[in-house]
Amino acid sequence: MNFHVTSGTPEKQRTAALVVGIYEDEKLSSSAQRIDKASEGYVSRLIKQGDFTGKKGQALLLFALPGVKAERVLLMGCGQKDKVTAKNLRQSWSGAVKALQACGATEAMICPLEAKPKDEELTQWARLIVETAEQALYRYEHTKSKKESLKKPLAKLTLLLDQRSQQPLAEQGILQGQAIAKGVNLARDLGNLPGNICTPTYLADEARRLAKEYKSLKAKILEQAEMEKLGLGALLAVSRGSRQPPKLITLEYKGAPGKQKPIVLVGKGLTFDAGGISIKPGERMDEMKYDMCGGAGVLGTMQACAELELPLNVIAVVPSSENLPDGAANKPGDVLTSLSGQTIEVLNTDAEGRLILCDALTYSKRYRPDVVIDVATLTGACVIALGAHASGLLSNDQSLAEHLLAAGQTSDDRAWQLPLWDDYQQQLDSNFADMANIGGRGAGTITAACFLARFTEEFRWAHLDIAGTAWLSGKEKGATGRPVPLLTQYLIQRAQEAKAS
Ligand code: BES
Ligand code: MN
Ligand code: ZN
């Protein structure tokens, strides 16, 4: 999809479709008022007759309005005027994009709701338009024999402003939106690919492909033999039951001088989680192909970062493996020695995410990180606690936690903090090793984070549990691309701070 910005009066635009917002309670947005005036009250008559109520998500296509140059006018329902939040606007615009796609228009123009928005609002608005449009148009096709190509796809969207001077602000928003959408789409594609295609080797190749595409990115893959030499005993134990070789994927982004400490993003790249010897029940086990969505989100964020050329140093570390039952698989009761030297008693082989992550977190120390943020589909308990709306956030640094929470708000990809109190640590006590890999029934998301915390004491660290947010189940089954928007927003903020100081 191509995005452009222009300025002018709505009624004079020659376009296949002009999108204007209508609020509930018969209120017209400023662009709708202009269209109404030019068409001598056509729009307000229609609303009076009850044909369009302005409910959020509603869309009505009108043809050949008198006095208006556009071929079509699409009325976009925006809900109540005093409740127009970014979140609601996303839903309204998403409805409009679907209506545009269903009609014959290959390009369209969209007007802001109100004249003279504040600078920052305008950038956010443009970004939201781009992100939402790309999201609505996303199709997964990789493993379908017939591609369902539309005859006349919507290919171009123009944002119509009333002041030329505001164009650069909208252009900035478009760039951000496109970068985030690219990252989100990469994460969605990787997540949706089946486990027999998206293996650890496939993820590693994907990192190499990104490094080829962007000069600012450099990929290095640690193979099994090197991991053995270094002693990544926890990661290797998880992979023992698999015929696919494990990989420790690293992708380095250099956008700042070498002396600037990097932000390290660690993503769980478990390409299929059957549970291992502690095998999972069969129902919905297919969804465990999504157990690499943390890794995919981190790779997507790296792509967004490279697209935006942010003045930061960022490093992705993705431990990747399968978790399968096998004669060689690790067993309940086994004791492993992690890269940190700490020993772990495996009480449940299905708690494998923390095992591959703990070695990746220890490995991250070599980069002398400013902060480390790990992202993982780590616990079913997080789905019970927060459902599909918020990712779980735990951190050993409150200021980092607050920055991530704020980034989640701004990007509409929210997280919610849970406590990382020492009180929970004792649930990991083991008679046979330094710790057990599970902490019993209570507070599963917290004890998982407590386990990781034992490997991150030397740096500022945050953990995002995306078990409930990384994909949707049921009829709309599919990866969401979360938390690419949150992480990218965090990086954008960090880049702005770096510039200001
Ligand atoms: N990948 C799963 C977590 C998961 C389960 C995410 C369902 C999304 C939906 C993880 O490896 C796992 O199996 N965790 C166990 C931990 C338990 C054995 C302590 C869980 O949550 O059941
Ligand atoms: Mn598991
Ligand atoms: Zn898992």
Q: What is this structure's pTM? A: 0.97
Does the CB atom of residue 307 touch ligand 1 within 6 A? no
Q: Which of 379, 427, 482 for mutating ligand 1's site (highest number of atoms within 8 Å of CB)? A: 379
Does the CB atom of residue 245 touch ligand 1 within 6 A? no
Which whole number is the average pLDDT over 178-195? 98
Q: What is the pLDDT of residue 25?
A: 85
Q: Tell me the CA distances in angstroms from 238 to 295, 332, 351, 490, one per residue in order.
A: 16, 12, 10, 31
Summarize pLDDT for 226-255 with one digit per residue, the tens.
999 999 999 999 999 999 999 999 999 999
| Alpha carbon nearest to ligand 1 atom 17, residue | 351
Which whole number is the average pLDDT over 64-87? 94
Domains of the chain, first to last: 2-137 (3.40.220.10), 180-500 (3.40.630.10)
CA 389 to chain centre: 13
Q: Rounded CA gap, 48 and 43, in Å?
A: 9
Overall residue count recorded for the chain in this entry: 501
Provide the pLDDT confidence category of residue 26 given band limits of 50, 70 and 90. Answer: confident
Distance 24 CA to ligand 1 centre (A): 43
Judge whether residue 217 has pLDDT over 90: yes
Q: Rounded CA gap, 213 and 306, in Å?
A: 10
Which whole number is the average pLDDT over 338-352? 99
Provide the pLDDT confidence category of residue 115 given band limits of 50, 70 and 90. Answer: confident
- Closest of 37, 30, 27 to residue 115, by C-alpha: 30
Could you report how far apart the first and last alpha carbons of the chain are, in Å?
A: 36
Which whole number is the average pLDDT over 31-51? 95
Q: pLDDT over 90 for what percent of the chain?
A: 93
Neighbouring residues of 295: CB distance < 8 A, sequence distance ≥ 6: 190, 203, 249, 267, 268, 269, 270, 318, 319, 320
Provide the pLDDT confidence category of residue 116 given band limits of 50, 70 and 90. Answer: confident
Point out the catalytic residue in the list 90, 354, 454, 494. Answer: 354
Q: Rounded CA gap, 103 and 439, in Å?
A: 54
Q: What is the pLDDT of residue 208?
A: 98
Q: How many CA atoms lie within 13 A of 450 on its CB side?
A: 24
Burial (CB < 10 A; 0-12, 13-18, 19+), residue 206, is buried
Q: What is the mean pLDDT of the chain?
A: 96
Q: Rounded CA gap, 79 and 83, in Å?
A: 7
Judge whether residue 501 has pLDDT over 90: no
Q: DSSP 3-state assignment of 384? A: helix
* 127 classed as catalytic: no
Provide the pLDDT confidence category of residue 335 given band limits of 50, 70 and 90. Answer: very high
| Alpha carbon nearest to ligand 1 atom 16, residue | 351
Which whole number is the average pLDDT over 192-216? 98
Q: What is the pLDDT of residue 360?
A: 99
Q: Which atom of ligand 1 is nearest to the CA of 378?
A: 3
Q: Rounded CA gap, 113 and 193, in Å?
A: 38
Summarize pLDDT for 373-423 with one digit per residue, the tens.
999 999 999 999 999 999 999 999 999 999 999 999 999 999 999 999 999
Q: Which of 268, 270, 350 for mutating ligand 1's site (highest number of atoms within 8 Å of CB)? A: 350
Which whole number is the average pLDDT over 90-119? 92
Burial (CB < 10 A; 0-12, 13-18, 19+), residue 86, is middle
Which whole number is the average pLDDT over 39-63? 95
Does the CB atom of residue 437 touch ligand 1 within 6 A? no
Summarize pLDDT for 418-457 with one digit per residue, the tens.
999 999 999 999 999 999 999 999 999 999 999 999 999 9
Q: What is the pLDDT of residue 317?
A: 99
DSSP 16: S
Which residues have a beta carbon within 5 Å of ligand 3, which is an ion? Answer: 270, 273, 291, 353
Distance 429 CA to ligand 1 centre (A): 20
Point out the catalytic residue in the list 220, 280, 331, 365. Answer: 280
* 243 classed as catalytic: no
Which whole number is the average pLDDT over 145-155? 82
Does the CB atom of residue 377 touch ligand 1 within 6 A? yes
Q: DSSP 3-state assignment of 153? A: coil
Q: Which atom of ligand 1 is nearest to the CA of 447?
A: 19
Provide the pLDDT confidence category of residue 147 given band limits of 50, 70 and 90. Answer: confident
Does the CB atom of residue 291 touch ligand 1 within 6 A? yes
Q: What is the pLDDT of residue 150?
A: 66
Judge whether residue 181 has pLDDT over 70: yes
Distance 378 CA to ligand 2 centre (A): 8
Q: pLDDT over 70 for what percent of the chain?
A: 100
Distance 353 CA to ligand 3 centre (A): 5
